[in-house]
Structure 1
Amino acid sequence: MMAKTALTDPVESGATEAPPTRTAVLHPDLGPDHTRRAPEHGLAEAVSLAHALPGLEVVRDQVVRLPKPHPGHLFGTGKLAELKQLLHDDEIDLVVIDGPVTPVQQRNLEKEWKVKLLDRTGLILEIFADRAATREGVLQVELAALSYQRTRLVRAWTHLERQRGGLGFVGGPGETQIEADRRAIDDAVNRIRKQLAKVVKTRALHRAARAKVPYPIVALVGYTNAGKSTLFNYLTGADVFAKDMLFATLDPTMRAVTLPGGTDIILSDTVGFISDLPTQLVAAFRATLEEVLDADLICHVRDISHPESDAQARDVNAILAQLGVSDGIPKIELWNKIDAVDADTRASIEAIAARREDVFTLSAVTGEGRDPALAAIATRVTPATHDEEVFVPFADGRARAWLHGEDIIQQEAQEDEGFRIQVRWTTRQAEQFAKMRR
């Protein structure tokens, strides 16, 4: 498993609990030309990310205006010194920068500020390493972390200086420590990919087994912290970790559910998406999201109370496209947390939803609006039916019992040699009945 950093190491038994890591979260504001998000909302999300990692205490968070990133230190000389003093005064141990930081910038900032530093990708990887529970989840995190580490083999240590090969002056240049580290990472990546291939193969067998069960798959997707797991727990009675926290769910969980009206489905709760999701994670977690690719219906759960709900929805749809989710898979939107908005906003939101056939407002916490949403899910996954008349001889009691068991008989009349039965069934049920009588 991916080695935990000092940020997430458990406290040894009997030892005094370590104090929380004093953390500062900085959101570089590059201006409206570089992002469509308001900087204060970006900062709020970054703080939520930091809170999602155990052991961190956010004591400072601020937006830092950054007209032009400095290639060596990210921030200019004046801002660098100003932040250094603030971090010193707040006794900060860890700085989280909500954005990309190059290896050189990270090295220089850590040296200048005398703190540990994580960029957005590093923080998300830490959270994933802390939360992944299944074998596949752990392997996917390790693979993503190694891909990330491979790009950051830049250090100031003397052992990275080039060594000479051969016999001193005659020999050609040998490999650097960076090259050796890179090769070791590549070897580890290959090992993990082989292990992952076995896990994915096992999951494929499980999917093949599920395919024999005539239940449609309904996948819950959405931006992280949109309320998917709360809704999943309500529908399934499962104990999936559901908390007002980013990335509360990292491994997909699947359960069989009977919807109101008797429709049986397999419901899948998936990892939450997020803006600027690291490329390594989009690739590494593709296998984890295979249930979405195979789904009969995708339910896009949105936190409609969030001020940037529309932007979050665009990010989710962009990642679904990256994952190769077909446009042919039916989708509906569940606008969750309707209880968290004021009356006027709620009236406006519900008016918009009423004009669309694929949108339903609800609250996974209070239960408001859940029945219409569930009815819509049932309608969209219930296969079409048709009426047909069949004749079942008295001797074929098994076939007649099966029809009664499927609860599809509309009318039944007894004749001299058997029963003439009017049924309303799906094509699949008609095929099953035909096979039974061969």
Structure 2
Amino acid sequence: MKADSGADKGTTPNGAGARALVIGPYVPQGGAARARDTAARLMEAVGLAEAIDLDVVGQLPISLNEVRPATYLGKGKVEEIGELVKSKDAALVSMDCQLSPVQQRNLERAWDAKVIDRTGLILEIFGERARTKEGALQVELAHLAYQKSRLVRSWTHLERQRGGFGFLGGPGETQIETDRRLIEERMRRIEHDLDKVKRTRALHRKTRRDVPYPVVALVGYTNAGKSTLFNRLTKAEVLAQDMLFATLDPTLRQIKLPHGARILLSDTVGFISDLPTMLVSAFRATLEEVTLADVVLHIRDVAHEDWEAQAKDVEAILSELGLKGEAEGRILEVWNKIDALDPERLSALQLAVSGIEPQRRPTLVSALTGQGLDALLARIESTLAAGRIRFEMDLDVADGEGLAWLHAHTEVLEREALPEGGVHLVVRIDPERSEGLARRFPQAEMIREAGVGR
């Protein structure tokens, strides 16, 4: 597939070690807090560039009053950055904004360097991090949607007409139409493959429901510590590094809760502000694990200076996925990285949390040290228990098979030896599985319901 040199520059950086400038062109919104936001946004943009091993040789925040249609920036800033590109010998300029194809091309001509915008950079990171076939297909689909948007008629080489050569297109079809058609055909093939993945995932999900193990999904801003928490709870070795988008492909592991119930913990891709729409769309099959989870843990990095804005970005994406309103009761906030706070800040945070009503109260943890994880597991357990039914029964001590069944299919809350040699048990179980328990243990008596159904 042919492409303009500008398109190549915009979507394919020089690779590891390329010298890059990071430019943050932001429209000011007033106030000291917004100024801090600008600094945090530029720091994040630098982190994105470093995530694909670009050598960031300079960074520049720019306060914009208006966006110029031709170059995004004003003429003076374009010239200033051009001089900076030369002095730093930069091969690539990363613009922390969304550029139109025309703006991207004009800036590349003005600076004689490759230009990549925020969407293109995130796509590059996802392209490098995808490890599974599904992840690679999802990224390619998003990348093709991005490439399709880069096909503009101002690219003169795409105006050439070509004769009809069967599959190459009919008479009079321009190069741009051929490129767009080839992209659309590839996108349809990928979407077909992803539909099969989606059906397979649905079958796997049904199999888990038949067991069933509740699913607890971790979500949060990228680099909030989800994978570190996942590893701490599951004793797994999922990639957990201090960099943006360290985890891309979803991972599931089984863990036990305090009273013996088993759950499936799901680690997911990190969210980020201005996450490209085509990525949210492409990863929708994966993100359905989140929408269908019994409990969603929103992991927040309380040590990050922009953590409040990050939370709003995550909530916006969850809302886009349909997780709002009725789902609020199963979304629990987990405030992570308390080990990175000074004692005064930690005390203030603990005081603030104590004033929040219990059902909405965040859990303070350190995934790195393990602090607060017992309380988190107990919170998960109590949330899952809402709607579950308690039964009590006496069991013959010789009924080892029955006891094993109860431990495998219920939460054994209490166990007390009886004088005559049996054992008295209190167990908790999902309503949909209570009939099976009643058939297996006709002596079992219901105690009470623990809330509303999940």
Measured against the shorter chain, the TM-score band is: 0.7 to 0.9
Seen in structure 2, the aligned counterparts of structure 1 residues 359 and 414 have a Cα distance that, compared at 3 Å, is same
Aligned to 1:362: 365
Aligned to 1:14: none
More displaced 10-residue stretch of structure 1: 256-265 or 189-198: 256-265
Work out whether 1:70 is the aligned partner of 2:68. Answer: yes
Seen in structure 2, the aligned counterparts of structure 1 residues 220 and 8 have a Cα distance that, compared at 3 Å, is farther
Q: Indicate the SS of the match to 2:247.
A: coil
Work out whether 1:52 is the aligned partner of 2:51. Answer: yes
Q: Deviation digits for residues 313-340 of structure 1, max 9, x if unmatched?
A: 1111110010112533312111111121
Cα distance in structure 2, aligned partners of 1:391 and 1:367? 37
Shift of 1:363: 1.1
Normalising by structure 2, report the TM-score: 0.84
Seen in structure 2, the aligned counterparts of structure 1 residues 155 and 296 have a Cα distance that, compared at 3 Å, is same
Q: Indicate the SS of the match to 2:326.
A: coil
Shift of 1:36: 5.8
Q: Indicate the SS of the match to 2:89.
A: coil
Normalising by structure 1, report the TM-score: 0.86
Cα distance in structure 2, aligned partners of 1:404 and 1:198? 36
Q: Indicate the SS of the match to 1:328.
A: helix
Among 95, 98, 103, the residue aligned to 1:97: 95
8 Å CA contact 2:232, 2:370 repeated in 1: no
Q: Deviation digits for residues 200-223 of structure 1, max 9, x if unmatched?
A: 111111111111222211111111
* Amino acid in structure 2 at the alignment position of 1:159: H
Aligned to 1:13: none
Work out whether 1:431 is the aligned partner of 2:438. Answer: no
Work out whether 1:338 is the aligned partner of 2:344. Answer: no
8 Å CA contact 2:415, 2:423 repeated in 1: no
Work out whether 1:184 is the aligned partner of 2:214. Answer: no
The Cα RMSD (Å) is 3.0
Seen in structure 2, the aligned counterparts of structure 1 residues 141 and 230 have a Cα distance that, compared at 3 Å, is same
Seen in structure 2, the aligned counterparts of structure 1 residues 147 and 65 have a Cα distance that, compared at 3 Å, is same
Aligned to 1:260: 258
Cα distance in structure 1, aligned partners of 2:65 and 2:407? 73
Q: Indicate the SS of the match to 2:237.
A: coil
8 Å CA contact 1:163, 1:176 repeated in 2: yes
Gaps of 5+ in 1: 10-18, 167-171
Q: Deviation digits for residues 337-393 of structure 1, max 9, x if unmatched?
A: 11212222111111111222231111111222222222212222236342445798x
Hey, which of these two has a bigger chunk of helix by percent? Answer: 2
Aligned to 1:372: 375
8 Å CA contact 1:252, 1:269 repeated in 2: yes
Aligned to 1:29: 26
Aligned to 1:218: 216
Cα distance in structure 1, aligned partners of 2:139 and 2:297? 25
Cα distance in structure 1, aligned partners of 2:370 and 2:345? 19
Gaps of 5+ in 2: 1-7, 165-169, 443-454
Shift of 1:435: 3.5
* Amino acid in structure 2 at the alignment position of 1:432: G
Aligned to 2:38: 39
8 Å CA contact 2:153, 2:159 repeated in 1: no
* Amino acid in structure 1 at the alignment position of 2:188: N
Shift of 1:111: 1.1
Seen in structure 2, the aligned counterparts of structure 1 residues 70 and 223 have a Cα distance that, compared at 3 Å, is same
Aligned to 1:320: 318
Cα distance in structure 2, aligned partners of 1:425 and 1:249? 35
Cα distance in structure 2, aligned partners of 1:370 and 1:291? 23
Aligned to 1:139: 137
Cα distance in structure 2, aligned partners of 1:193 and 1:432? 40
* Amino acid in structure 1 at the alignment position of 2:382: T
Cα distance in structure 1, aligned partners of 2:419 and 2:39? 71
More displaced 10-residue stretch of structure 1: 229-238 or 422-431: 422-431
Q: Deviation digits for residues 170-198 of structure 1, max 9, x if unmatched?
A: xx992221111111111011010111111
Aligned to 1:251: 249
Seen in structure 2, the aligned counterparts of structure 1 residues 425 and 90 have a Cα distance that, compared at 3 Å, is closer
